[in-house]
Amino acid sequence: MSEESADSTLTDGFHLVVDALKLNGIDTLYGVAGIPVTDLARLAQSEGLRYFGFRHEQSAGFAAAAAGFLTQVPGVCLTVSAPGFLNGMVALANATTNCFPMILMSGSSNRAIVDLEQGDYEELDQMNAAKPFAKAAYRVNRPEDIGIGIARAIHAAVSGRPGGVYLDLTAAALSATLDAETGRKSLLKVVDPAPRQIPAPEAITRAIDLLGNAKRPLIILGKGAAYAQADQDIRRFVESTGIPFLPMSMAKGLLPDNHPQSAATARSFAIGQADIVMLIGARLNWLLSNGRAPLWDEGAQLVQVDISPIEIDSNRPIAAPVVGDIKSAMAAFLAVLKPGQIRPSAAWLEALAQHKQKNIQRMAAQLSADPHPMNFSSALRVVRDVLADKRDVHIVNEGANTLDFARNIIDMHEPRRRLDSGTWGVMGIGMGYAIATAIVSGKPVVAIEGDSAFGFSGREIETICRYKLPIVILVFNNNGIYRGDKPGTTPPSPTGFIPNARYDRLIEAFGGVGYHAEDTPNLTKALEAALAAGHPALINCVIDPTAGTESGHIQSLNPKRALRS
Ligand code: ADP
Ligand code: TZD
Ligand code: MG
């Protein structure tokens, strides 16, 4: 029960929301204030919750989603009605797509008017608009239902496959009063919101038997494995079986990228040649070529460890499904695994080692070049080297070439230190993810951003400066989307921006420190200085506009005109 209403015999919807969140250990809100939730944000703050006010709801929502991924507690985003709600919806849909737990809580207008479409201020049937994009959507119409509404939202967000949940808070319910004692009794503290889902023992045996027959086994770790926080057991399983592993981008660091069993530098070879592949918290979606040839051997057999039973057989047959939560599943594997039961063949390990060696040498040549202006490899080599001994630094990464090169060049050594565009390949997560990561971890964050990608959430540099967060933004400025090599044409090219823009000057408007780096020595100096200072900083990193490729590494997904005019 909040201070203000402690002596009174009445409470209201605003107080009940805050009390329900506190009761359930939710201590942070990310949002944009306005009718009808301003008082909710203010009250939350005065009641000891942390409230982070953003400049756009999409970034606030992305922040909530990132916080959910990092902590397993749903991140909560607070927005106003109709347009504010819709601005937050991209983040909610993205959270659902990425299996991140978050709750989008929006105030909504007068139900009687909205439902007859009579034209209320910010009128929209938000709950129904949210449904197709959310794991669940609920509406609270009465103050006495707030406790249940928040409990249901928490359960839905974190149980089973995590996702985004919409909670509609009508203005009437927020401002309605209720007897304080009745209100207190209406609140509930959820018990075991993400219950363990222990896989069936026969599923574990089936998977181990299959892996025991493998000559060329491979483990693919996805961001579900990172989310599950089963770091020790995953590492123990990988190391005790000796199976080579590949991390998906956000699973990098679950085992260090320089681990001898990492097959990341021989990715296509490893996937193409493996006879049995074990997926742990990774879907066979486009990021894994849907499990199809030519990347995959159609004859390979699969083990899939996933919490969602309907993920199994989604793209190709899974010979050994293990449905359960990854923490329980890995513990179960380790409990029954006998020494030497699974043993990759020496020929397989040797072939992988040779491929790795070849690819590492090829990459080394690219990485050692120091062209002027910088290209993606040379600039990222600087970032890699500066971060080499700073393992607490978290990375956020978006763009096309900027994403693809950084994912490969920057090694991760700790779990959940890298967040990126994820399953949708969405641009705009940058500042929201960086802000939440800095808040949740209390550690420095380096956001490696394409210049286009940065533009989607760049307005949040004011937010970063306002909260004095230790975030260093690197804008890889190549004058455009993918590449900006046709400057000054009229009309401007669909992918080109104003050439040689000085993004570093933007952050200076808000008291942050801007750096302009045209070569590798200056980039090294700027990044070292920015990290040492621990203040908000933006480094405008000049990249050769001809260096990138259209669509980065996924050019094959870009349809081309069949007919040339
Ligand atoms: P990536 O993009 O890294 O390949 P995906 O997002 O495609 O990863 O896959 C993540 C998978 O992890 C989803 O299928 C999801 O159901 C699953 N998952 C999420 N959390 C857990 C968990 N705690 N236990 C088991 N599976 C999980
Ligand atoms: N809008 C949204 C929300 N997401 C998207 N992915 C896109 C548009 C399309 N898109 C990409 O897929 S990558 C990209 C866009 C606009 C930007 C690439 O340019 P960049 O990176 O400057 O960020 P590089 O390093 O120049 O390739
Ligand atoms: Mg660019």
Residue 72, pLDDT score: 98
User: Is residue 543 in contact with ligand 2, taking CB distance under 6 Å?
Assistant: no
Higher pLDDT pick, 486 / 5: 486
Bridge partners of residue 105, in order along the sequence: 78, 167
Contacts of 482 (CB under 8 A, 6+ apart): 400, 401, 452, 495, 548, 549, 550, 551, 552
Contact (Cβ atoms closer than 8 angstroms) between residue 103 and residue 95: no
Give the start-end residues of each E strand in 151-306.
Answer: 164-170, 177-179, 217-221, 245-247, 276-280, 301-306
User: Is residue 224 in contact with ligand 1, taking CB distance under 6 Å?
Assistant: yes
Residue 558, pLDDT score: 85
266-290 confidence digits (pLDDT tens): 999 999 999 999 999 999 999 999 9
**Nearest partner of 456 among 481, 423, 419, 422, judged by Cα:** 481
From residue 264, how far is each of 1, 260, 277 by CA, in Å? 52, 10, 14
Q: Looking at ligand 1, which residue's alpha carbon is closest to its atom 11?
A: 281
Is 397's pLDDT higher than 60? yes
Phi-psi region of 242 (alpha: psi -120 to 50; beta: other; left: phi over 0): left
Q: How far is the CA of 251 from the centre of ligand 3 (A)?
A: 25
Is 4's pLDDT higher than 70? no
* CB under 5 Å of ion ligand 3: residues: 450-452, 478
Distance between CA 562 and CA 273 in Å, rounded?
Answer: 34
Question: Which residue type sits at 64?
Answer: A
Is 369's pLDDT higher than 70? yes
Sheet holding 418-420, edge to edge: 418-420, 394-398, 445-450, 471-477, 537-542, 513-517
Phi-psi region of 552 (alpha: psi -120 to 50; beta: other; left: phi over 0): left
Residue 1, pLDDT score: 47
Contact (Cβ atoms closer than 8 angstroms) between residue 161 and residue 307: yes
Is 5's pLDDT higher than 50? no
User: Is residue 482 in contact with ligand 2, taking CB distance under 6 Å?
Assistant: yes
Label residue 484 by pLDDT band (50, 70, 90).
confident
User: Is residue 458 in contact with ligand 2, taking CB distance under 6 Å?
Assistant: no
Q: How far is the CA of 423 from the centre of ligand 3 (A)?
A: 20
Q: Work out the mean pLDDT of the chain and round it to a whole number.
A: 96
For the residues 79-83, what does the mean pLDDT come to?
A: 97
**Nearest partner of 149 among 16, 48, 30, judged by Cα:** 16
Residue 550, pLDDT score: 84
For the residues 314-320, what does the mean pLDDT come to?
A: 98
User: Is residue 231 in contact with ligand 2, taking CB distance under 6 Å?
Assistant: no
Question: Which residue type sits at 484?
Answer: G
Q: How far is the CA of 68 from the centre of ligand 1 (A)?
A: 14
Element (H, E) at 419: strand 418-420
Distance between CA 268 and CA 326 in Å, rounded?
Answer: 25
Is 485's pLDDT higher than 90? no
User: Is residue 549 in contact with ligand 2, taking CB distance under 6 Å?
Assistant: no
For the residues 20-24, what does the mean pLDDT come to?
A: 98
Label residue 488 by pLDDT band (50, 70, 90).
confident
Looking at ligand 1, which atom is closest to the CA of residue 311? 14
Distance between CA 492 and CA 134 in Å, rounded?
Answer: 38
Distance between CA 167 and CA 104 in Å, rounded?
Answer: 6
Is 30's pLDDT higher than 60? yes
Looking at ligand 1, which atom is closest to the CA of residue 283? 7
Residue 151, pLDDT score: 98
Contact (Cβ atoms closer than 8 angstroms) between residue 322 and residue 199: yes
For the residues 89-102, what does the mean pLDDT come to?
A: 98
For the residues 477-485, what does the mean pLDDT come to?
A: 88
Residue 555, pLDDT score: 81
509-537 confidence digits (pLDDT tens): 999 999 999 999 999 999 999 999 999 99
Residue 490, pLDDT score: 87
Residue 477, pLDDT score: 97
* SS3 label, residue 514: strand
Q: Please, what is the end-to-end C-alpha distance for the chain in angstroms? A: 69
For the residues 370-397, what does the mean pLDDT come to?
A: 97
User: Is residue 552 in contact with ligand 2, taking CB distance under 6 Å?
Assistant: yes
* SS3 label, residue 77: strand
353-365 confidence digits (pLDDT tens): 999 999 999 999 8
Q: How far is the CA of 484 from the centre of ligand 3 (A)?
A: 7
Residue 565, pLDDT score: 65
Q: How far is the CA of 453 from the centre of ligand 2 (A)?
A: 5
For the residues 538-562, what does the mean pLDDT come to?
A: 89
Residue 548, pLDDT score: 87
330-358 confidence digits (pLDDT tens): 999 999 999 999 999 999 999 999 999 99
The tokens for 516 are 């302009």
Q: How far is the CA of 205 from the centre of ligand 1 (A)?
A: 21
Looking at ligand 1, which atom is closest to the CA of residue 285? 7
199-217 confidence digits (pLDDT tens): 999 999 999 999 999 999 9
